[in-house]
Homo-oligomer: A and B are copies of this chain.
Amino acid sequence: TIEHIFKEIFKASLELQEDDHRKALLVSRKKKPEDTVITLKGHQVGSGEPSFVFGPCAVESYEQVATVAKAIKDKGFKLMRGGAYKPRTSPYDFQGLGEEGLKILKQVADEYDLAVISEIVNPADVEMAAKYIDVIQIGARNMQNFELLKAAGAIDKPVLLKRGLAATIEEFINAAEYIMSQGNGNIILCERGIRTYEKATRNTLDISAVPILKKETHLPVMVDVTHSTGRRDLLIPTAKAALAIGADGVMAEVHPDPAVALSDSAQQMDLKQFDEFVKEVQPFSQQSGMRI
């Protein structure tokens, strides 16, 4: 057993090195104790006030996006989402409008003075996309598409990184490190549910990930209540839980007419449900004195 002790001493020194290594992560609080705050068209993400991101799953037309943009602006929000490149399980499902969709987003964003977030799926498209949109989203399926992470890290544009379907929190943090190691530290992390055996919800919202990510990193953390639950009836309660636990923001999908949506029709809110969502969630965040 003396042999074992020596083996452990050796192991301990190895771990020390590893620990130093981890300490060195650019995204870690150990490296930078202050919160990273990201400013988007004047709105600050990560400053203590909750941020809200709304918009359709996929960009379908100018009219569709403009209708939602108007509702967002009317409620005083600043951030809009909309997918132009849609990663879909089947190659025969609607794949998004591509660059055309990005152009629509830019036009609408300019008209309504909103910052726009859209998913990019090919490293070759990152630079092009940066001309149209305010935040590059890297989706759950691409969380370990390291070439895409590196490409997003090489430009000067905020990145919203979603947690992978079955990614550990440690892998998620390392994925963010891929981006930051290329020079781009403007990263928003987004918990969007993980895959478990439970089928009552589309995914299982791992709410505890929020305080862990806030503790381990200096990055803003959002919760996507639409993809984590996949159920319209859970959007309001999970949004409250997300804000209560300390998330910097909430994402939810809004579509003028979900029934005819080209993707995810079952889980998007229509404009009336959007009203109700805001009426329920906004005062909650104020009354509960979040961050004060």
- Which among A67-75, A205-213, A251-259, A264-272 touches the partner chain? A205-213
0 or 1 for each of A162-182: is its CB under 8 Å from B? (1 = yes): 001110111100100110010
CB pair A177 B13 closer than 8 Å: no
A8 touches which of B9, B196, B234, B237 (Cβ 8 Å): B9
Q: What's the Cα separation between A177 and B164 when bound, in Å?
A: 22
CB distance from A132 to the nearest CB of B (A): 18
In angstroms, Cα B229 to Cα A215, docked, is 15
- Report yes or no: B181 in contact with A200, Cβ–Cβ below 8 A: no
**Number of chain A residues whose Cβ lies closer than 8 Å to a Cβ of chain B:** 75
A12 touches B5 (CB 8 A): yes
Cβ of A289 under 8 Å from chain B: yes
CB-based nearest B residue for A287: B289
Nearest B-chain residue to A197, judged by Cβ: B195
User: Which residues in B have their C-beta under 8 angstroms from that of A141?
Assistant: 144-146
Q: Tell me the interface secondary structure of chain A in the complex.
A: helix
Which of B4, B11, B90, B194 makes the CB contact (< 8 A) with A16?
Answer: B4
Q: Give me the 10 closest cross-chain CB pairs, A-B, nearest first.
A: A166-B166, A288-B288, A8-B12, A244-B244, A141-B144, A241-B245, A241-B241, A122-B147, A211-B237, A240-B244
* Between-chain CB contacts (< 8 Å), 26 pairs: A5-B13, A7-B12, A8-B11, A21-B92, A88-B146, A90-B177, A91-B177, A91-B178, A122-B147, A145-B145, A166-B195, A168-B199, A169-B198, A194-B204, A196-B206, A198-B206, A201-B208, A204-B208, A205-B208, A207-B241, A208-B234, A237-B246, A241-B242, A244-B244, A244-B284, A287-B289
